[in-house]
Amino acid sequence: MLREKNGRVLIVDDDADILTAMRLLLKPHVELVHTEPNPENLPARLRDLSYDAILLDMNFSKDATSGEEGFHWLERILEIDPSAVVIMITAYGDVETAVRAVKQGAVDFVLKPWQNEKILATINAAMKLSATRGQVRTLQDRQRALSAELEQSFQDIIGRSSGMMRVFETIEKVAGTDANVLILGENGTGKELIARAIHRQSKRSDEIFVTVDMGAISENLFESEMFGHKRGAFTDAKADRAGRFEVAAGGTLFLDEIGNLSPAMQAKLLRALESRTITRVGDNRVQKVDIRLICATNHDVSDMVASRQFRQDLLYRINTVEIHLPPLRDRREDIPPLIDHYLDHFSQKYNRGSLTVNQAAQRKLERYDWPGNVRELKHAIERAVIMAEDRVLQPADFFISGGDERGGEVELDSFNLEDVERTVVLKAIRKHDGNISHAAKELGLTRTSLYRRIEKYGL
């Protein structure tokens, strides 16, 4: 017997007496009971709402007893919703028909006239199966998110500067709590790495870490992406789907680029954070969610609040603790260990053996301002490892596209021969995208001669 009033049941039968009797029987036990006398209306009904169980008659035409109509509509239901839980009901049943119904996707078979206790038990089992299938889909969503998280590259945070030491101290203090954290810093400074470090040192470290790029979510899909949706909630909603809040339940939800949210999206997020509940699009059931929230942005949120671009109440909600990540230009002592770290990683990744960076190249990397921060340095080293022709990386192996290093490039209107040579060599190297052989050929030099000039001018 159904023990608590929950679930949604649809009864499809052309007999009005059957529909009435079934509705009265189920009403005390089921949250929502819908009846449908015309199976032609099934597609529209299933697009509008999902059901935990569907009781489907097998014969609708007058004097029909074969059950073929029931099999036809069973097939249609499963085409619309492959996870639908369907119970076949008929007055003309036999073992062969029951076996065929189960083989074609029904979960059970009930004969008319039914026994009340038996049909209640059957529906109860069907709704439990539906709930289990929903849990499986949620677990699959979580598994996909977890797999994506595990596929991330190495996540070590490299830093020995005083600025990074302060960041590490804050992580140690805040990680063991469930306090909301806001990480501020320029693009490429490693905000996600800090969020992952907090998660790994938290009480939720055995649970999932879910990353959401808020700048990549359009306003019309925000609720579906964050809170999930029921099948049929909108045109492309082919199946129930768990949102990021559900997927992150028990673990950590990292909202990156939160400064990109529109006012409407900020309001919806604030409601969810204040109540710690979400409702899937197309559903009316409220679900509690237990998450650790970490946010990040490269925007000055204080200025955004002052200009009314960001809600002050949302800022209060997300920044119990703030962590400011310094740009790489303000922690140049971290560049050498970062170079070593990335050089070792990419040498192994691309099977390049043991590679080193000569002093001139090291100086070039240390004096560059790195507007793209650690991310730009990482990409520069990866490219150098791939393109380098020798075991010792030269300055010319590092093609820095974000601008010149400090000191700039000398223009050709200088009449100092060394200045002119330095400029011509640099232009040739950049023209050939760092290919030393091609640059040396255009300059009329051997590769060895070109390397000597690179070393001489610190390129």
* 423-444 pLDDT per residue, tens: 888 888 877 777 788 888 888 8
Residue 33 backbone phi and psi in degrees, to 5: -120, 120
Q: Which fold has domain 330-457?
A: Helicase, Ruva Protein; domain 3 (1.10.8)
Q: Tell me the two tokens of residue 318.
A: 């997300």
Average pLDDT over residues 141-148: 59
- The segment(s) of the chain belonging to CATH 3.40.50.300 are 152-326
Q: How far is CA 381 from CA 31, 329, 362, 407, 436, in A?
A: 61, 17, 11, 22, 16
**What is the C-alpha to C-alpha distance for residues 102 and 217, in angstroms, rounded to an integer?**
41
- Chain-centre distance of CA 343, in angstroms? 29
Architecture of domain 152-326: 3-Layer(aba) Sandwich (3.40)
Range list for CATH 3.40.50.2300 in the chain: 8-133
Q: What pLDDT is stored for residue 375 in this prediction? A: 92
pLDDT (tens digit per residue) in 66-109: 668 888 888 888 888 887 889 888 776 666 776 787 788 888 87
Superfamily of domain 8-133: Response regulator (3.40.50.2300)
pLDDT digits (tens, 9 = 90+) for 25-69: 888 888 888 999 988 888 888 877 778 889 988 877 654 556 688
In the chain, CATH 1.10.8.60 sits at 330-457
- Per-residue confidence band for 378, with pLDDT thresholds at 50, 70 and 90: very high
Q: Which residues of 343-361 are buried (b: 16+ CB within 10 A; e: fewer)?
A: bebbbeeeeeeebebbebb
The backbone torsions φ and ψ at residue 362, rounded to the nearest 5 degrees and listed phi first, read -60, -45
Query: pTM here?
Result: 0.60
In 231-326, alpha helices (H): 244-247, 263-275, 301-306, 312-318
Cα gap 228→237, rounded to integer Å: 10
**167-211 pLDDT tens trace:** 999 999 999 999 999 999 999 999 999 999 999 999 998 899 999
What local confidence, expressed as pLDDT, does residue 182 receive? 97
